[in-house]
């Protein structure tokens, strides 16, 4: 009963109920603005801001958990479906690795580095330190572009090439590098940067 009632309500109505502020205070704000800068809304203080951020984090974790419980990774679209909730609200570049077992199920998606608004510094040693914590058979590299444009930079391609070489030495193949933008993604394997071997292609 409650579930169907909530699904019929607008974003402003739901956030009004959650934060206890008049719906009128929310009408001039986009949903993304409310999520990223709740204190800009009249009537929202530190406690209500913390409440919203806590709910946001719980939602992100539930979405990521539900995504990981799906079938094995068969291609870039499967990987992107799991990664998008992880990166959705990040304002800085986050570089992560999707660790796969021998059946291409996701073992974990640890974050290796967090950069500025435009760049993430990634060292192979840090990446493979995370990889070796699990019985990893193969990996998919992943990071977000907060600008919303997932087009790869020269540094993105350079980092990918370095990690592919390290993966060959460690006998843990790098299957793809997924760059997440605003509700879209780019697969470097599909672009031809990575040779098409394994499930992510």
Q: Return per-residue pLDDT of the chain as tens, 201 residues.
A: 444 455 555 656 666 666 665 654 445 444 455 556 555 565 666 776 677 667 666 666 665 555 555 558 999 999 999 999 888 888 889 999 999 999 999 999 999 999 865 556 788 999 999 999 999 999 999 999 999 999 999 999 999 999 999 999 999 999 999 999 998 999 999 988 776 544 555
**pLDDT score recorded for residue 75:** 93
pTM of the model: 0.64
Separation of CA 181 from chain center: 9
**pLDDT score recorded for residue 2:** 46
**pLDDT score recorded for residue 143:** 95
* Homologous superfamily in CATH for domain 72-187: Cytidine Deaminase, domain 2 (3.40.140.10)
Cα–Cα dist 56/52, whole Å: 6
Domain ranges of the chain: 2-60, 72-187
Locate tokens 């709740």: which residue?
Answer: 38
Locate tokens 């509700």: which residue?
Answer: 183
**pLDDT score recorded for residue 76:** 95
């Amino acid at each position: 009963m409650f579930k169907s009632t909530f699904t019929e309500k607008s974003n402003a109505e739901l956030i009004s109920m959650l934060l206890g502020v008049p719906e009128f205070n929310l009408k001039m704000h986009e949903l993304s603005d409310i999520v990223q800068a709740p204190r800009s809304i009249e009537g929202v203080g530190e406690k209500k801001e913390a409440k919203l951020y806590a709910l946001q984090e719980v939602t992100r974790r539930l979405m990521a958990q539900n995504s990981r419980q799906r079938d094995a990774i068969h291609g870039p679209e499967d990987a992107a479906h799991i990664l998008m909730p992880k990166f959705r609200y990040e304002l800085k570049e986050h570089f992560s690795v999707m660790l796969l077992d021998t059946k291409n199920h996701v073992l974990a998606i640890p974050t290796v580095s967090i950069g500025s608004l435009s760049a993430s510094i990634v060292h192979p040693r840090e990446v493979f330190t995370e990889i070796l914590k699990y019985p990893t058979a193969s990996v998919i590299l992943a990071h977000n572009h907060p600008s919303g444009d997932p087009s790869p930079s020269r540094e993105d391609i350079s980092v990918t090439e370095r990690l592919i070489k390290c993966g060959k030495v460690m006998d843990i193949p790098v299957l793809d590098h997924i760059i997440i933008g605003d509700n879209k993604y780019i697969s470097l394997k599909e672009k031809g940067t990575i040779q098409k071997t394994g499930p992510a292609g």
